[in-house]
Structure 1
Amino acid sequence: MAVSGAGTCKLETLEAEVEIKAKADQLYKFISNKHHDVPKAASDKIYDVTVHEDGNVETYKEKVEIDEANKRVSLEALEGSHVLDNYKSYKVTYQVITPNSEGSSVKITLEYEKLSENDPPPQKYLSFLVNVIKDVDAHLLKE
């Protein structure tokens, strides 16, 4: 895709997988239906989450897509986020991988399109998301 005045940028992806100790279904339920409670689990990383369905502008407004069959939750940045200062598009997908011989995990996929080829990949955001999942996992183990 062409970006006005900035050459050609393409959709890129970063991925990480986080092993979890909480039950896979419990963690999926939390990220799909209780994401407004994330500050309770990761208070040192996330100050507040407010769910709006009335279209009001927020600091970080996102579109949430839930795929129950595949235990996947996607969050696409729409407006107002600092992340959109460097990226034309930014989408996070969490997929809870149910137990197998290796245990349960959450696959995090970050899809983004840079505004400029000089912008760095959003590695710091991926690291942040990994740490949030670890905090949520620890929080669920305490419940």
Structure 2
Amino acid sequence: MGLCQQRSDGEPISQGADKRAHHNALERKRRDHIKDSFHSLRDSVPSLQGEKASRAQILDKATEYIQYMRRKNHTHQQDIDDLKRQNALLEQQGDRGAGLVVCVCVLPPPLSLPHPPYLPRPLPTSVAFSEL
């Protein structure tokens, strides 16, 4: 007679082992995904790139970096808003002075003159141009 051993819940033992193996494989895959995600997060935080760090350290440093980047973005946004206001003001001033052209020129730095021993020698005054 083909007796099939069963677990207490009524399932055959071989099916229970297969289910457990499948569940273990899924759990291993989930843990690997979490591990890869932590490595990716660690490599995204400049102060942790290439470093060995615990998951708690990775989360702490990632939080610090996100807060730092938010402050930096806020500062940049304020700078952009200030520049937009300045631009609007300049455009209004330009509209009022219609036809008035203002040129802001940036002059190059003055050339430094060579020291006296390197000054070009003057042409002799006694030589006529036709002789040259």
TM-score range, shorter chain: under 0.3
Structure label with greater radius of gyration = 2
- The structure that is helix-richer by fraction is 2
- The structure that is strand-richer by fraction is 1
